[in-house]
Amino acid sequence: MWLVIFTERDKNKLPLTSNKLFDKGGEKEQEMKFKISLIMITFALVGIIALRATAGNSLFFGDPLPGLTTAQLNQFDAGKDEFMEEETVADGLGPVFNGKSCAECHSSPTVGGDSDTTETRFGTITNGHFDPLTQFGGSLIQSKGIGGEPDATCNIAGETVPAEATIKAKRRTTPLFGLGLVDSVPDQVFIAIAQLQKRFTPETAGRPNHIEVATGQAVGKFGWKSQVPTLKQFSADAYLNEMGITSPTFPTENCPQGNCGLLAICDSPPDPEDDGSGVQAFTDFMTFLAPPPRGPITRKVLAGEVVFFGLGCAACHIPVLKTGRNSITALDRVKFFPFSDFLIHDMGSLGDGIEQGQANGTEMRTAPLWGLQARKRLLHDGSATTVTDAILAHDGQGAESKQRFNTLKAKDVTDLLAFLNSL
Ligand code: HEC
Ligand code: HEC
- The CATH code of the domain that includes 307 is 1.10.760
pLDDT at 47: 57
Residue 164 inside a domain? The answer is yes
Residue 210 inside a domain? The answer is no
Using CA positions, which residue lies closest to atom 28 of ligand 1? Answer: 234
DSSP 3-state of 251 = coil
Is the domain of 309 the same as that of 365?
Answer: yes
Domain count, the chain: 2
Judging by beta carbons within 10 Å of its beta carbon (0-12, 13-18, 19+), is residue 370 exposed, middle or buried? buried
The β-bridge relationship of strands 115-126 and 129-131 is: antiparallel
pLDDT at 153: 84
Within the chain, how many helices (H) and strands (E) appear? Answer: 14, 11
* Cβ contacts of 217-223, under 8 Å, gap ≥ 24: 218/187, 219/187, 219/190, 219/191, 220/357, 220/359, 221/182, 221/183, 221/185, 221/190, 221/342, 221/365, 222/179, 222/182, 223/174, 223/356, 223/365
- Residue 256 carries which DSSP code? G
Which runs of E-coded beta strand occur in 82-166? Answer: 96-97, 115-126, 129-131, 144-145
Name the β-bridge partners of 222: 228
pLDDT at 59: 81
Is the domain of 281 the same as that of 305?
Answer: no
Instruction: Find out whether 271 and 75 touch, Cβ atoms under 8 Å.
Output: no
Q: Which atom of ligand 1 is nearest to the CA of 97?
A: 1
Is the domain of 107 the same as that of 130?
Answer: yes
pLDDT at 45: 56
In which element (H, E) is residue 298 found? none
267 lines ligand 1 (CB under 6 A): no
169 lines ligand 1 (CB under 6 A): no
Is the domain of 283 the same as that of 152?
Answer: yes
Q: What are phi and psi of 416, to 5 degrees?
A: -60, -45
pLDDT at 41: 54
Residue 163 inside a domain? The answer is yes
Q: Which residue from 86, 96, 101, 102 has its CB within 8 A of the most atoms of ligand 1, so it is best to mutate? A: 102
Amino acid at 351: G
* Number of Cβ within a 10 Å radius of residue 80: 23
- Residue 215 carries which DSSP code? T
Protein residues whose CB sits closer than 6 Å to any atom of ligand 2:
204, 311-313, 315-317, 345, 347, 350, 364, 366-367, 369, 375, 378-380, 387, 390-391, 394, 397-398, 401, 405
Q: Taking the CA of residue 12 as centre, how many other CA atoms within 13 Å lie in the half-sphere pointing to its CB?
A: 12
Distance CA(404)–CA(111), nearest Å, equals 37
Is the domain of 243 the same as that of 153?
Answer: yes
* Number of Cβ within a 10 Å radius of residue 327: 6
Instruction: Find out whether 194 and 335 touch, Cβ atoms under 8 Å.
Output: no
Distance CA(141)–CA(404), nearest Å, equals 38
Is the domain of 322 the same as that of 412?
Answer: yes
What residues have CB less than 8 Å from 21, skipping those under 6 apart? 29, 32, 36, 203
pLDDT at 15: 34
Is the domain of 158 the same as that of 256?
Answer: yes
98 lines ligand 1 (CB under 6 A): yes
Boundary of a domain, candidates 239, 267, 287 = 287
The β-bridge relationship of strands 335-336 and 363-365 is: unpaired
Boundary of a domain, candidates 219, 253, 287 = 287
237 lines ligand 1 (CB under 6 A): no
pLDDT at 148: 87
What residues have CB less than 8 Å from 293, skipping those under 6 apart? 57, 58, 59, 60, 61, 63
Is the domain of 188 the same as that of 310?
Answer: yes
Distance CA(114)–CA(296), nearest Å, equals 22
pLDDT at 152: 87
Using CA positions, which residue lies closest to atom 17 of ligand 2? Answer: 379
Whether the pTM exceeds 0.75: the reply is yes
Judging by beta carbons within 10 Å of its beta carbon (0-12, 13-18, 19+), is residue 214 exposed, middle or buried? exposed
Is the domain of 135 the same as that of 256?
Answer: yes
Judging by beta carbons within 10 Å of its beta carbon (0-12, 13-18, 19+), is residue 211 exposed, middle or buried? buried
Distance CA(289)–CA(179), nearest Å, equals 7
Is the domain of 142 the same as that of 272?
Answer: yes
Q: Which domain holds residue 305?
A: 2-64+180-205+292-420
Tell me, in angstroms, the distance from the centre of ligand 1 to residue 33's CA. 42
Residues of the chain with pLDDT under 70: 1-58
Could you tell me which of 232, 224, 225 has the C-alpha nearest to residue 250?
232
Residue 219 inside a domain? The answer is no
DSSP 3-state of 95 = coil
Q: What are phi and psi of 352, to 5 degrees?
A: -105, 5
Distance CA(373)–CA(355), nearest Å, equals 30
Instruction: Find out whether 159 and 142 touch, Cβ atoms under 8 Å.
Output: yes
- Residue 113 carries which DSSP code? S
224 lines ligand 1 (CB under 6 A): yes
Tell me, in angstroms, the distance from the centre of ligand 2 to residue 325's CA. 30
Could you tell me which of 207, 200, 195, 194 has the C-alpha nearest to residue 18?
200
Instruction: Find out whether 342 and 182 touch, Cβ atoms under 8 Å.
Output: yes
